[in-house]
Amino acid sequence: MVSKHFKNLISSHAAKEAQDFSQGSISSNILRLAIPMTLAQLINVLYNVVDRIYIGHIPHTSTQALTGIGLALPIITIITAFANLFGMGGAPLFSMSRGAGETKRAQKIMGNSFAMLLLSGTVLAVICYIFKHPLLYLFGASDITYPYANAYLRIYLLGTLFVMTSLGMNNFINAQGFGITGMLTVSIGAILNLLLDPLFIFVFHMGVQGAALATIISQCISSIWVLHFLVGDKAIIKLTKKCMRLQISLIKEITALGLAGFIMSITNGSVQIICNATLQRYGGDLYVGIMTVINSVREIITMPVSGMSSGAQPVMSFNYGAKEYKRVKSAISFTTIFSIIFTLAAWALLFFFPRFFIHLFNSDPELLEAGVPAMRLYFFGIFMMALQFAGQSTFTALGKYRHAVFFSLFRKAIIVIPLTLWLPTIAGLGTNGVFLAEPISNFLGGIACFVTMMMTVWRKLEDTQ
C-alpha cells in the first residue's frame, strides 16, 4: 500500500512538472500543446464543414440547401462567440493564476466560466428559436432558401448547451497542459458526426435536418467527455459545484478578457450577415452560396494558425504570471514566424488550385465559374492575417484586454463592414466589392495590430528583463 501510494505521488508530481511551462524550450512547450490542438482544430473544422460538404452534394437541391446552411452560420457564430466569451476569457486567467501558484482562484475562475456558459447558452437558444424567422430573412434568405435554413436551425438550437460546454470548457483542459485530451474532445464528436451525417442525410433521407441532428448528438458526446475529465482525478485542477458559485468580481475579469474573442466572433457573424445581405442584393442566391463555400474554405486554411495561437497562449500566460518575460518574447516570435510562413503557403495553394477547394463543397458549374475569381480576390494577401493572429493572441494571453478588444473591432467592424457596404457601389464593382473588403482589412488590420503589439507589449517585456 505504501509503495503504491508513493508511486502515485511520484506520478502526480511528474504530471504537474510536465505542465510547468517555465521549464524546457519555448518551441517544445508550444508545439506540445499546438500540435494536438491544431489536430483538434482540424477535426473541429470537420465538425463545422462536414455538414456543408455532404449537403453541397445532395442531388437536385445542393446549391439551395448549401446556401440555406450559409444563412444559419451567423447564428452559429453568435453561439460560438458566447462560448469564447467565457471559455477563452476564463482560460488565460486560469493559466496566470496557476502560474502564480493561486490554485483556489484558478478553480473558481473555471467554475464561474462554466456557470456562465450554461446560463448564456440557455438564454441564447430561447431567443434565437423565437426570432429565427425574421433573423434569417434579415441575413439574406429568400423564399427558396429559407426552408433549408429553418429546418437546420430548429434542430441545431436544441443542442446549444452541448456546443457551449464542449467549446468553452475544452479551453480549461488545454490550459492545464492536456493538449491530447483536448484534441480528443473534438475528435470523438467529429468522427461521430462524420459517420452520422451520411446516415441521416442519405440513408434516412432527412436532408439538412439530418445534418443538424448528427451535429447535436456529436456535440453531446463531446460535452460529456469534457465534463468527465474536468471532474475526474486526471485533472490537475478539478471542476466542482462549490467553485461554480458566481462571483461578480471574477465574472467581470473573465468577461473583460474574453471580450476580444467574443467581439471577434460577433463581428465575424456581423460580417457574414452584411456580406450575405449585400450579395443577395447584387448577385442573388448563387453568390450567397459562393460566400458559404469561401467561409468554409477559410475555416480550413486558418485552422493551423489558430491552433498555433491557441497552443502558444497558455505558454505565454503561464510565463507572464511567473515573470519569465524572456520566454514570453520567445513564444511571440515563434508563433509569428510560423503563422507568416504557413499563410504564405496557403495563399499559393488557394491562388493556383481554387477549383479543388470549391469542388469539396459543390460541383455546380455555375457556382464554380463565378466562385474561382471570387475566391482569388477574397484570399489575396491572406498572409497579412497572420500578423493579426499573432498580435491578438499575445494581447489576450497577457491580459491586455483593451488592446485585444480594440483590434477585434478595428479589422471587422471599422474596416470590413463599411467597405462591404460601400465598395459594391463604386465603379460597378458589385459582388467583387464584397470580396475585396477582406484583403484590404487583412493589410490594414494586420499591420496596425502587430505594430501596436511590438510598440507596447514587446517593448515593455524588453524593459523588464
CB atoms < 10 A from the CB of 415, how many? 20
**146: exposed, middle or buried (Cβ count in 10 Å: 0-12, 13-18, 19+):** middle
Query: What local confidence, expressed as pLDDT, does residue 319 receive?
Result: 87
Query: What local confidence, expressed as pLDDT, does residue 2 receive?
Result: 38
The model carries a pTM of 0.78
Report CA 156 to chain centroid distance, whole Å: 18
CB 318 within 8 A of CB 21: yes
Q: Which residue has the higher pLDDT, 112 or 363?
A: 112
Residue that is written with C-alpha cell 463581428 in the block: 267
CB 152 within 8 A of CB 213: no
pLDDT in tens, 236-282: 999 999 999 999 999 999 998 888 778 778 888 889 899 999 999 99
- Distances from the Cα of 160 to the Cαs of 77, 209, 392, in angstroms? 12, 16, 27
pLDDT in tens, 118-134: 999 999 999 999 999 99
Crossing angle of the two packed helices 160-175 and 179-198, in degrees rounded to 10: 150
pLDDT in tens, 97-110: 988 889 999 999 99
Instruction: Copy the grid coordinates of residue 362.
Output: 459543390
Residue that is written with C-alpha cell 451520411 in the block: 198
CB 359 within 8 A of CB 421: no
Query: What local confidence, expressed as pLDDT, does residue 38 receive?
Result: 76
pLDDT in tens, 140-185: 899 999 999 999 999 999 999 999 999 999 999 988 988 888 888 8
CB atoms < 10 A from the CB of 322, how many? 18
pLDDT of 444 over the 90 cut: yes
pLDDT of 63 over the 50 cut: yes
Query: What local confidence, expressed as pLDDT, does residue 40 receive?
Result: 66
pLDDT in tens, 300-319: 888 888 888 888 888 898 88
Query: What local confidence, expressed as pLDDT, does residue 17 receive?
Result: 39
How does the average pLDDT of the chain come out, rounded?
Answer: 88
3-class DSSP state for residue 232?
coil
Position 3 confidence tier, pLDDT thresholds 50, 70, 90? very low
Handedness of CA 315, 318, 320, 322 (dihedral sign): negative
Instruction: Copy the grid coordinates of residue 173.
Output: 483542459
Query: What local confidence, expressed as pLDDT, does residue 147 receive?
Result: 94
Query: What local confidence, expressed as pLDDT, does residue 44 receive?
Result: 67
Amino acid (one-letter) located at 387? L
Query: What local confidence, expressed as pLDDT, does residue 4 receive?
Result: 43
pLDDT in tens, 179-238: 888 888 878 888 898 899 999 998 998 989 999 999 999 999 999 999 999 999 999 999
Query: What local confidence, expressed as pLDDT, does residue 11 receive?
Result: 39
The arithmetic mean of pLDDT across residues 401-409, rounded, is 82
CB 226 within 8 A of CB 110: no
Closest by Cα among 152, 216, 221, 156 to 186: 221
Query: What local confidence, expressed as pLDDT, does residue 447 receive?
Result: 95
CB atoms < 10 A from the CB of 251, how many? 18
Q: Which residue has the higher pLDDT, 227 or 4?
A: 227
| C-alpha to C-alpha distance for 254 and 320, rounded to whole angstroms | 17
Query: What local confidence, expressed as pLDDT, does residue 235 receive?
Result: 93
CB atoms < 10 A from the CB of 380, how many? 18
pLDDT of 59 over the 60 cut: yes
Closest by Cα among 13, 16, 171 to 91: 171
| C-alpha to C-alpha distance for 141 and 65, rounded to whole angstroms | 12
DSSP string, 306-345: HHHHHHHHHHHHHHHHTT-HHHHHHHHHHHHHHHHHHHHH
The arithmetic mean of pLDDT across residues 346-352, rounded, is 94
CB atoms < 10 A from the CB of 445, how many? 25
Query: What local confidence, expressed as pLDDT, does residue 19 receive?
Result: 57
pLDDT of 6 over the 50 cut: no
Radius of gyration for the chain, computed over Cα atoms and rounded to the nearest angstrom: 22
pLDDT of 465 over the 70 cut: no
pLDDT of 455 over the 80 cut: yes
